[in-house]
Chain A
């Protein structure tokens, strides 16, 4: 199930549907997350107003992204951070590898970061001879299993407790048990040792505050606090869309993000990091590097329709709510970003050439839009991308022809009537789509259309 490609979404999905463990794990996790989110949202009487405010803040930040980024960089650097601009994934990885190599880093601890998953940073660091340890429990599990995350906030959501127990026995040599407390404490003990030995800590960023140059990261396990405070050097990787204008904006986002993600009112830890330590006697890293990543984001920004994709705060709520994700899970999408928002972002990041199946991997039910804390109109974006795919002739030729014919028929009452009669006569002779009839009976065409029946109704 590993490292699948978006090009084979159909086959990936088929394999996922046949995996009973996966489907059991997905059903439990997505329904639990979904229920918790609903309860948490209902606990705030002004939920809808918060969503609108969050979106307005994101829209403002994105509309003037250049200005807010410059302000963010100025303020972060004036407090001792060093900011690096990366045009794409390769540039970001080069910068980070160079920073690590120059500091003779051998062991790197990492906290959960979708942005570094996007750039495949671990591969780059390992190729440069460094040992990289993921310290988020879910990420640690999938690192041990040599897999990729299958959910934005719960990377090992596809795994059952039993599978994790087997993995820990095989990889960490612990006696077989499926006791969660024992599994967690084994991981904890192994990771604590790595934290103490690490030369560099690498994290992601949830929000970058322009007016103070602060980076904000939320979490539950405490591993991010350790990653960003124990090693001498902290490198934070941040997509350029993560900047928000002011500290006060967090009032909205810190209410929405945990509630939408895990259904919590507050995450256990919230780290606010502004520059480096001021005095030698202070605790914390000596160096803070912030790598600002574009990697296709300014392209999304340029288009008025797709711009809203950048408002995403990576809560994962749309994944849990999506009927497709609920059935096939994250790996099938063959992308770091799965689910509805993944089907929107992936083609924009990687190009539609190899990802043209993803925007169609949705029934357009709109459950994603309903739960999105920043009101991203995901179905609209999927439709926009479908339009791009057909405009660039990336869809099937037969389908294009079929819709040309369809339009002809729908434009002419005569053709419409004729084809309806033809369909009625031929429906029992010509084979009907097996794609439909493999699991469902097909309703036959009526012997008389409503157009015909209308005459008797007048």
Chain B
């Protein structure tokens, strides 16, 4: 299947290995991957902060670019940015033309684990990674895209990985986009609940589906000098300890 990768601006700038891993995993399961160099952001920062005109502007651009693709699906290693694309119709409620265009794009756009399990029906991507790990449910993937079993299924099939459920895995990590800098103290207080749960889990790695949560969790773990590493699901699925 031909897929167009929406890598997200965060991954593009701060965590390129997630993008590289996504390409590897998609190719491994037989996809032909294209990447449109014109892509930037999904518009979520503006949308979530209340700047709807700016959000519409950037969303229209996203739609126009990806409409040109002949790929059957747009795949993104982010539940949050995928959910944003799924929210586009809310931005264009009063604009019939863009409403319909946004709905078509939303229908084609999938988060990585959802694309693998729901669309391609692939539950084992042949990855191997040795160690004990846990999963943090990123909020938008979990509650906007209903991704709960999909990432867990993929993780359980990683050879050598011992998966343990995190206490309150579905609790927010406190990132919340601009929330994390508008109310840093609250954001940190929420985050510390997550960090405590991760410490109790006794794992080597915490895996999630969004770079934003991983930045938040990883930034705190590293500040505290913790040995637990953060890893994106794409990185785990691309891992192959056999070399």
A and B interact = yes
Contact B58 A411 (CB under 8 A): yes
Query: A406 to chain B: which residues have CB within 8 Å?
Result: 45-46, 54
Contact B51 A403 (CB under 8 A): yes
Knowing A327-B186, A328-B186, A451-B12 touch, does A387 contact B50 (C-beta < 8 A)? Answer: yes
Contact with B along A382-398 (1 / 0, CB 8 A): 01011111110001000
User: Whole-angstrom distance between the alpha carbons of A383 and B177 in the complex?
Assistant: 13
**Chain A interface residue count, Cβ-Cβ cutoff 8 angstroms:** 62
- Interface of chain B, helix or strand or loop or mixed? helix
Least CB distance, A189 to chain B, in whole angstroms: 40
Least CB distance, B162 to chain A, in whole angstroms: 27
Query: A63 to chain B: which residues have CB within 8 Å?
Result: none
Least CB distance, B97 to chain A, in whole angstroms: 19
Query: B20 to chain A: which residues have CB within 8 Å?
Result: 450, 453, 457
User: Whole-angstrom distance between the alpha carbons of A442 and B14 in the complex?
Assistant: 10
Closest to B181 in A: A435
User: Whole-angstrom distance between the alpha carbons of A449 and B175 in the complex?
Assistant: 23
Contact B177 A364 (CB under 8 A): yes
Query: A390 to chain B: which residues have CB within 8 Å?
Result: 49-52
Question: Which chain B residues numbered 91 to 149 have a C-beta less than 8 Å away from chain A?
Answer: 139-140, 142-144
Contact A449 B16 (CB under 8 A): yes
Contact B57 A445 (CB under 8 A): no
Contact with A along B52-84 (1 / 0, CB 8 A): 101001100100000000000000000000000
Query: A323 to chain B: which residues have CB within 8 Å?
Result: 171-172, 174, 190, 193
Knowing A383-B48, A411-B58, A451-B12 touch, does A441 contact B184 (C-beta < 8 A)? Answer: no
User: Whole-angstrom distance between the alpha carbons of A364 and B44 in the complex?
Assistant: 12
Confirm or deny: A103 has a beta carbon within 8 angstroms of a beta carbon on chain B.
no
- Interface of chain A, helix or strand or loop or mixed? helix
User: Whole-angstrom distance between the alpha carbons of A361 and B12 in the complex?
Assistant: 28
User: Whole-angstrom distance between the alpha carbons of A359 and B178 in the complex?
Assistant: 12
Contact with B along A423-458 (1 / 0, CB 8 A): 100000000010110111111111011110110010
Closest to A304 in B: B93
Knowing A361-B183, A433-B181, A457-B20 touch, does A440 contact B188 (C-beta < 8 A)? Answer: yes
Contact B176 A439 (CB under 8 A): no
Closest to A403 in B: B51
Query: A441 to chain B: which residues have CB within 8 Å?
Result: 218-220, 222-223
Confirm or deny: A47 has a beta carbon within 8 angstroms of a beta carbon on chain B.
no
User: Whole-angstrom distance between the alpha carbons of A173 and B119 in the complex?
Assistant: 69
From A403, A440, A451, B49 is in contact (CB under 8 Å) with A403
Knowing A390-B49, A420-B13 touch, does A17 contact B40 (C-beta < 8 A)? Answer: no
Contact B140 A442 (CB under 8 A): no
Contact with B along A188-223 (1 / 0, CB 8 A): 000000000000000000000000000000000000
User: Whole-angstrom distance between the alpha carbons of A389 and B49 in the complex?
Assistant: 10
User: Whole-angstrom distance between the alpha carbons of A453 and B15 in the complex?
Assistant: 12
Knowing A363-B172, A363-B190 touch, does A407 contact B54 (C-beta < 8 A)? Answer: yes
Confirm or deny: B157 has a beta carbon within 8 angstroms of a beta carbon on chain A.
no
Query: A444 to chain B: which residues have CB within 8 Å?
Result: 14
A residues bordering B, Cβ < 8 Å? 10, 13-14, 17, 323-324, 326-328, 359-367, 369-370, 380, 383, 385-391, 395, 399-400, 403-404, 406-407, 409-411, 413, 416, 420, 423, 433, 435-436, 438-446, 448-451, 453-454, 457
Enumerate 9 A-B pairs (CB-CB under 8 Å) in ascending A order.
Answer: A323-B171, A323-B174, A324-B190, A327-B190, A367-B172, A410-B41, A440-B216, A441-B222, A457-B35
B residues bordering A, Cβ < 8 Å? 7, 9, 11-16, 19-20, 23, 35, 37-38, 40-41, 43, 45-52, 54, 57-58, 61, 90, 139-140, 142-144, 170-172, 174-191, 193, 215-216, 218-220, 222-223
Give 6 new A-B contacts, CB below 8 A, not counting A369-B143, A411-B40, A420-B12: A363-B177, A364-B139, A389-B50, A407-B46, A420-B13, A441-B222
